[in-house]
Amino acid sequence: MFQSIRQFITFFLKISLYFHVIMIHKLIEILTRTRLKNEHHLYAFLVLALFSITSLILLLHYGEMPQTLPDRHTSYHKVEEKLQKSILEETEVGCKFPVIDPFAAEMMKFNKDIPKIKCESGDWVQCEMSKCYVKSDILKTMNNVVCVYKDIIYIDDNNYKLGEPVRLSSDRHYYLNASDHVKVSCSGTPVDRFNIFSTRWYGYKAGLRPVQLPPAPPSPAAPA
């Protein structure tokens, strides 16, 4: 109804002025009578006189106030500006990230040159889906390759067991059935040199064993 304090006070003073005029008129009527008829007239006279005096004081005291009061939008804008300014000036609230030199001596002492890991040879066995076999480049450089496969069967997230060892020659494939992971150890003799001791390799490989899906439920019969 009122968009600002100024409008409200202006409206209030106008109503007060209107009632003030009416009360003065009634007061003159009472004063012009020769006598007060009863106590009710006396009480009415006192109320009218008190209201008239109060209205006159308010009118004289606050008559110029609406011209100096800002409207609601101006007050809201000033409050918002003060709030933003206080937020920008505030430095003790919230997290303040420390300024740290990443190349400081205290940090650089942990930076050490670590020699690169250089493998003498690659894996002998490769698994594709559920089939595991000796790689062709190994068969070209090794004779009499024999590998032993042991399934890694997980009991739960923290425990596992190894399956029964399966020994296969290089021309045979091993198929994952009990697990997706297998431990492999192989041995063979190099082709290009004489060596009475066989070369060994071991590692862990992963694949995807076949999983039989449960049969689909029968489709509902069509209504007759």
Instruction: Give 78-104 pLDDT, tens digit per residue.
Output: 777 877 777 666 655 566 778 888 888
pLDDT in tens, 150-190: 999 999 989 999 999 999 998 899 999 999 999 999 999 98
Domain residue ranges of the chain, discontinuous segments joined by +: 5-67, 125-206
Higher pLDDT pick, 128 / 198:
128
**According to the model, what pLDDT value does residue 34 have?**
45
Backbone angles phi, psi at 142, to 5 degrees: -130, 145
Q: Left (φ > 0), alpha (ψ -120 to 50) or beta: where does 5 sit?
A: alpha
pLDDT in tens, 132-150: 999 999 999 898 999 999 9
**According to the model, what pLDDT value does residue 175 have?**
96
Structure tokens given for 63: 């008559």
The answer to whether residue 12 scores a pLDDT higher than 70 is: no
50-55 contact pairs (CB < 8 A, 24+)? 51/19, 51/23, 52/20, 52/23, 52/24, 52/27, 55/16, 55/17, 55/19, 55/20, 55/23
Q: Is the pTM of this model over 0.85?
A: no
Residues 6+ apart with CB under 8 A from 122: 135, 137
The residue whose two tokens read 């002025």 is 17
**According to the model, what pLDDT value does residue 66 have?**
46
**According to the model, what pLDDT value does residue 46 have?**
67
The answer to whether residue 74 scores a pLDDT higher than 70 is: no
CA distance 211 to 223: 35
CB 184 within 8 A of CB 205: yes
